[in-house]
Structure 1
Amino acid sequence: MLAMRPIRHRLGPNLLRPLHTTSLRLSEPRIIENDFATLRDKYNAPKWPVVLCHGLCGFNEIDTHLPVLPTYEYWGGIKESLEGAGATVITTAVPPVSSIKERAETLAGSLTQILHDAPWKKDTEKKSQQDKEEPKVNLIAHSMGGLDSRYLIHNLAKDLPFKVASLTTIATPHHGTSFADWCFDELGDKNVDRLYTILETLGVQNPDGFKQLTTTYLKEFNKTTQNDPDVAYYSYGAQYFPHWYNVFYPSWKIIDHYEGPSDGLVSVKSAQWGTYLGTINNCDHLDLINWTNRIRYHWYRLSGQRPSFNALAFYLHICDGLAKRGF
């Protein structure tokens, strides 16, 4: 693992003020360097549908309704790639900044409706599966979507007409993030209330999700939201070392001081939950959902460099692994 570097005091006099953070002592992760650099010729498709669960401030897609601007997808190209490999893929949208509980309830309702209205079995499996077989899903969640999914499994799944076979989280802040701690510590309660009022005035409803990413909140969340023994839990994290002009540099700097390596928003330590499958090197929080990565990947190819990470290969690998495990 790359050594932690001391940070300099550049973000204001209170940057390094002690925060109420939780000490995380987890296993030393495997660093993934080039495992997902290129696409393989063949990937297996999971037996059960794959559900892509977005993070904080996320969405399914945004249509500008302007001919000069494209439709923006949260999972840029990922859904199409998985479907091309034979997977059944479901994308949903939950309230962008609402509480984990509200987001999970919306996710549960959407999946209930989707699985009722559309076939849930792969065409290749219909002949061998009995009609009475209860549907299952594989949840693949980015960032806060992993917390929504864990809440759904623990608190809602017993009343749903489907089961969760597996949950794979990608850069989910399972133990919170010191950047959220720092933001709320700097703002203070009065300014937080004012900010929430402004957001609600602008049409942003129930912005409780921000505060639920603090280490204090997630410590209590983890006590009451335990794993289901009938569900397989997997997780990935990422680490990135940005230049000073990178959009993630301020948040990365704070997290690097308090928690160590991160992808700019979520530390490697906080991303570990269930079976931790490794830390993707040189990859930031948006690279993981094929946003900035698409630009960088094409630039590398034009300049003759070999990219170290292809988000499409990463998600195809996840699904291939689920298929091989019988999910």
Structure 2
Amino acid sequence: MDKVIGVLKTIMNFDGIRSCATESCAAFNREVEAFEAKNPIFYQTYSSHQEFNQTFLPFQIAWKILDKNEGENDGLVSLKSQRWTKMLSTEDGYRKEVPQHSFPIRADHMDQMGWWNLNEIHKAGWWNMRALSEKQKHEELIKSVYLKIAREVCGLIVSENKRR
């Protein structure tokens, strides 16, 4: 594996991947917390996880590593990291709540984007109408999740503007 990584380093820059490491993300979050606490942006989190055998095949190696180190995950991010924080605060006492939500279905990182179980996609063609129907239902469910989020956020913006 080290040889493969060594060869890849000669043709690819991995610096961006390092910035996604748990320690790097924690350092970044500490650095920007006061700014995020005081800005007018509404933050909220949605978290989900998936079983190993239902996780998109290329994410299964990461799933195992995350499961061993942090527990339940979506194949790319642990539940703990997805939930980020419940509260943003500043040293001068300013606090902003960060609502936490669970995604309405078990989902790996691709499912969350509406990419119906890519391990099964080869089954969803005109020759298999049941699988195609499952795929379409999944995509509609995911669309409805994001429409609900958008409507809720728009409602918050309208409410905030009315208060001003």
276 and 290 in structure 1: CA distance in 2 versus 1, 3 angstrom threshold: same
Distance 2:156 2:148 in 1: 12
- Aligned CA distance change for structure 1 residues 302 and 291 (closer, same or farther; 3 Å): closer
Relative to 1, partners in 2 of residues 1:316 and 1:197: Cα closer, same or farther, differing over 3 Å?
A: same
More helix by share: 2
Contact 1:268 1:279 in 2 (8 A): no
Q: Which runs of no fewer than 5 residues in structure 1 stay unpaired? A: 1-185, 200-205
Alignment check: 8 A CA contact 1:293 1:310 kept: no
Separation of aligned partners in 2, 1:326 and 1:244:
37
Residues 196 and 207 of structure 1 are in contact (CA less than 8 Å); yes or no, is this contact kept in structure 2? Answer: yes
* Counterpart residue type for residue 289 of structure 1: M
The equivalent of 2:108 in structure 1 is 284
- What one-letter code is carried by the residue in structure 1 that aligns with 2:32? T
Q: CA RMSD in A?
A: 3.4
Q: What does residue 154 of structure 2 align with?
A: 323
Q: Specify the code of the residue in structure 2 equivalent to 1:310.
A: L
Shift of 1:286: 0.7
Map Cα deviations across residues 158-206 of structure 1 (whole Å, 9 max, x no partner).
xxxxxxxxxxxxxxxxxxxxxxxxxxxx75xx9866533222xxxxxx5
Aligned-pair identity in percent equals 27
3-state SS, counterpart of residue 52 of structure 2: coil
3-state DSSP of counterpart to 1:270: helix
C-alpha distance in structure 2 between counterparts of 1:233 and 1:257, whole Å? 29
On the 8 A contact 2:46/2:101 being kept in 1, the answer is yes
Provide the residue aligned with 1:262 in structure 2. 73
Task: Quickly say closer, same or farther: Cα 1:218–1:307, change in 2 above 3 A.
Answer: closer
Q: Assess if the C-alpha contact under 8 Å between 1:237 and 1:271 holds in 2.
A: yes
For 1:257 and 1:285, the matched residues in 2 are separated by: 18
- Bigger strand share: 1
Contact 2:70/2:80 (8 A) holds in 1: yes
Give matches, 1:61-80, under 5 Å: none
Give per-residue Cα distances to partners, 1:233-292, cap 9 Å, x unaligned. Answer: 111111100328951322212211111111111111100133212244321111111223
How big is the shift at 1:326? 2.2
Number of matched pairs:
132
Contact 2:56–2:75 (CA<8 Å) still a contact in 1? no
User: Which one-letter code corresponds to 1:292 in the other structure?
Assistant: W
2:52 aligned residue: 242
Aligned ranges 1:1-327 → 2 under 5 Å: 187=2, 195-199=8-12, 206-226=13-33, 227-229=36-38, 230-243=40-53, 246-247=56-57, 248-273=59-84, 274-292=98-116, 299=130, 302=133, 310-326=141-157
CA contact (8 A) 1:293 1:311 kept: no
Q: Is the 8 A contact 2:116 2:138 kept in 1?
A: no
TM-score calculated relative to the size of structure 2: 0.64
Pick closer, same or farther for the CA change 1:280–1:316 going to 2, 3 Å: same
Relative to structure 1, the CA distance from residue 307 to residue 219 in structure 2 (aligned partners, 3 Å threshold; closer, same or farther) is closer
